[in-house]
Structure 1
Amino acid sequence: MLDIERALNNDRLLRSLSGLNRQAFDELLPAFERAYLAAQNHQTLAGRPRQRAAGGGQKGQLGESQSKLFLLLVYFKCYPTFDVLGFLFDLDYSRANRWVHRLQPMLEVALGEKLALPERKIDSVEAFIERFPSVKTVMIDGTERPIARPQDKESQKDNYSGKKRRHTRKHLGATDEKKRVLILTPAREGKVHDKRLLDQTQIAQTIPDEIPIALDLGFQGLQNEVVQVRIPHKKPRGGSLTDDQKRENRQLSQERVVCENAFAGVKRYRAVAEVYRNRVSGFDDHLMLTACGLWNFYLSSCLRLTE
C-alpha cells in the first residue's frame, strides 16, 4: 500500500497525488469524516440500508478516514484504472471501484459543508447577492470533456461536438475574478450550443446589473437581452475592426482569461479532463461538480495561507 505519511509530509508530492496541499487536506479531513460517519450509520458498504450498528464485522483494508480521503483524491487527480488504484492501495479492483463510488458523495457533502461547491442553479438576483456578496465580475463559458464513442446511433449524434470534433459532455460555468467556479450547470450532450444552454439555464438573468458579465463570441446576441454583458466586437464580413475595437477586444480577452485559468485549474484533476470511462449513470456530472469544489476549496485554502 502507498506510504500515505510520506506523501502528507512532502507538500510537492501531496499536491501531485491529490491536488491539495497539506493545509487544505487537513482542513477538509474533519468534514469528510463527519460525512463518512453520517453515511455509515445509514447504509452498508454495498449501499444497502444498515440493519445493525456501525462498527461491527471485519475491518476494512483502508482503515481510517485519512486513507479513504487520500484514495479518493488520488483517483480524482491521477484518474488511474481501478486495477491500478487497487494495486496501489492493496485492494481488489472491484473493491476499489466500490470505494470510489461510495466515497464520492461523502466528499461532495464535505465540500458543501465548506461552501466550496458551485451552485447548480440560481433562482433570482437576490439569491445571487446572498450567495456571492463580494463578486465584482462574472465570466461565463462552456467546458467539455471527451467521452468514449457511444454505441447507440442517437447517442452518437447527440454527444458529438462539432467544435471539438469528437464525442463530449458539456457544462456551462460562471467564474469570478478570483478564479472560483460560482455556478456549474448539469452535464449536457456535446452538441448543445453554449448560447442555447445559457438561454435554457437563465444564468445571466440572475446576475445583478452592476456586475459586468464577460463572454466570448459564442454568446453573440446576449448583449441584446442583458444590459451588463461585455462581448468582443465581431469582424464584419468583408471589413475589418477599428484600432479602438481591437484594443477593446484585447482588454476583454485579458479579463476573460481568468475563466480559462479557472477551468484549467479544475482540469488538473484528470478525472474530468481525460476520456470518461465510467459506466454509472450521472457519475460524470458528479465528478465535475466535486472537482470544481476541490478547486474552489484549494483556492480558499491558499488565500487563507497568504493572509
Structure 2
Amino acid sequence: MPTKTVPAGNHTELVYQCRLPLSTQTLRYLTGLLGAHLKKIKSRWRKLPTGRITVIVLAALRHDQRLADLAGGNAVSRTTVDRWLKEMIDLLAARAPRLERVLAKIAREGGSVVLLDGSLMSTQRRTGLPMRRRWSAKHKRHGLLVIALTDIKGRLLWTSTARPARGSEITACRHDGLVSRLREAGLAAVADLGFVGLDDDTGDPAVITGYKKPKGKKLSPAKKLVNQLIAAERAVCEHAFAHLKNWRVLTRLRLDVKWATRLVRALMILNQHEIAR
C-alpha cells in the first residue's frame, strides 16, 4: 500500500564555534610562514586571509575536524581546504631537521645521551595487500610505525619515515642506520625492551636497554634496579609522544598514507613551538 511522506522542510546549515587550545605564538608563527610562502610564489590572493586559513588548518590538525565541515562553515570548497592543509604540512615538514644534524647538534652542545622510542599511528582499515603490511600484531590494529628521538628533557628532535606496522622497531632503526650514526656522533640512546638486540656490541653499546625476564626465571635485584632506572629516564620520552598525539589528526589517519611522514614531522615542528612558549 503506497504511503505519503511529509517533507522535512527547508534544509539549514548550522555553524558553531569551537575553542582551539593553542597559543597565539603558534598562530603567529604559522601565519608568518604562510605569508612568506605566498610572497615567494607571488600568489596574488586567496579566498580567505592568511590568519583565517591558519586557524582552519590548525582546527583540522588539532581537533581532526572533517574538511567538508570546515569548508562549509567558511564558504569554501572541500578541495580548497584540502589544498591549504597539504600546503601547510609541506611548509612545516620542510623545516624538520635531518638525523645527522640533530645528533651533531647534541654532541656540539655537550650532550651524551638521547632517548629512543617508537609509536604506532593508527590508519583506516581497507582491503588489499598494503593493509596486511600495516597490521600490527603487537597492538592488534592497522597502522604505521614511527621511530623518534628526544633529548633528556623530552623534547622531540627527530622522527623517522612512517613505515608499515608489520615490521619491528629494530627493523625500522636499521633502515635508518641509527646505530652507526649514533657511534659517529659519539652518542648513546636509551631505549625500552623493544629495542633489545638492535646493537650487537655488548662491550660498548650505542643503544642502552634493560633486561628481559628469562622464561621460567626471575630477574636478579640488580637487573630489576637497572630496569627501574631506565624506565625513570625514559618517562619524558613517553610524555613527548603523548604531547604529539594531542594533535587528534593522528588518532586515526584519514589522509593518504604517503602524507604520513610529512604530517608527523610537521606536527613535531608545531609541538616545538607550542611547548617553547
User: If the TM-score is normalised by the length of the shorter chain, which range does it land in?
Assistant: 0.7 to 0.9
Task: Look up the equivalent residue of 2:223 and give its one-letter code.
Answer: Q
TM-score, with normalisation over the residues of structure 2? 0.83
| Aligned: 1:33 with 2:35 | yes
Deviations 1:271-295 (A, max 9, x none): 12x211123x611221111011111
Task: Look up the equivalent residue of 2:254 and give its one-letter code.
Answer: R
Q: CA RMSD in A?
A: 2.5
> 2:189 maps to what in 1?
213
| Aligned: 1:108 with 2:93 | yes
Greater C-alpha Rg:
2
1:148 match: secondary structure? coil
Shifted more, 130-139 versus 245-254: the winner is 130-139
> 1:197 maps to what in 2?
172
Deviations 1:117-144 (A, max 9, x none): 242x43xxx8722476334421111111
Residues 136, 176 of structure 1: 8 Å contact kept: no
1:257 CA drift (Å): 1.4
CA distance in 1, matches of 2:174, 2:189: 15
CA distance in 1, matches of 2:247, 2:177: 28
Deviations 1:12-40 (A, max 9, x none): x44x2xxx3123333443233212322x3
1:229 CA drift (Å): 2.6
Deviations 1:58-111 (A, max 9, x none): x54312x212222211111011111221133232323222322233323434xx
> 2:198 maps to what in 1?
222
> 1:167 maps to what in 2?
142
CA distance in 2, matches of 1:36, 1:133: 35
| Aligned: 1:275 with 2:260 | no
Segments of 5+ residues of structure 2 without an aligned counterpart are 1-14
> How many percent of aligned residue pairs carry the same amino acid?
20
| Aligned: 1:251 with 2:229 | yes
**Inter-CA distance 144–238: structure 2 relative to 1 (3 Å threshold):** same
Task: Could you list the structure 1 runs, at least 4 aligned residues long, displaced by more than 6 angstroms after superposition.
Answer: none
> 2:60 maps to what in 1?
75
**Inter-CA distance 151–249: structure 2 relative to 1 (3 Å threshold):** same
Shifted more, 127-136 versus 99-108: the winner is 127-136
Aligned residues: 259
| Aligned: 1:233 with 2:219 | no
Task: Look up the equivalent residue of 1:105 and give its one-letter code.
Answer: D
Shifted more, 222-231 versus 196-205: the winner is 222-231
> 2:261 maps to what in 1?
285
1:224 match: secondary structure? coil
CA distance in 2, matches of 1:100, 1:28: 12
Residues 121, 143 of structure 2: 8 Å contact kept: yes
> 1:144 maps to what in 2?
120
> 2:3 maps to what in 1?
none
CA distance in 2, matches of 1:60, 1:30: 15
1:287 match: secondary structure? helix
Deviations 1:176-234 (A, max 9, x none): 11222222111111101111111221113212575331111111123433624321111
CA distance in 1, matches of 2:163, 2:178: 16
TM-score, with normalisation over the residues of structure 1? 0.76
**Inter-CA distance 149–127: structure 2 relative to 1 (3 Å threshold):** closer
CA distance in 2, matches of 1:256, 1:133: 22
1:170 match: secondary structure? strand
Residues 193, 212 of structure 2: 8 Å contact kept: yes
**Inter-CA distance 257–231: structure 2 relative to 1 (3 Å threshold):** same
CA distance in 1, matches of 2:142, 2:106: 34
Residues 159, 168 of structure 1: 8 Å contact kept: yes
> 2:239 maps to what in 1?
261
1:282 match: secondary structure? helix
Task: Look up the equivalent residue of 1:239 and give its one-letter code.
Answer: K
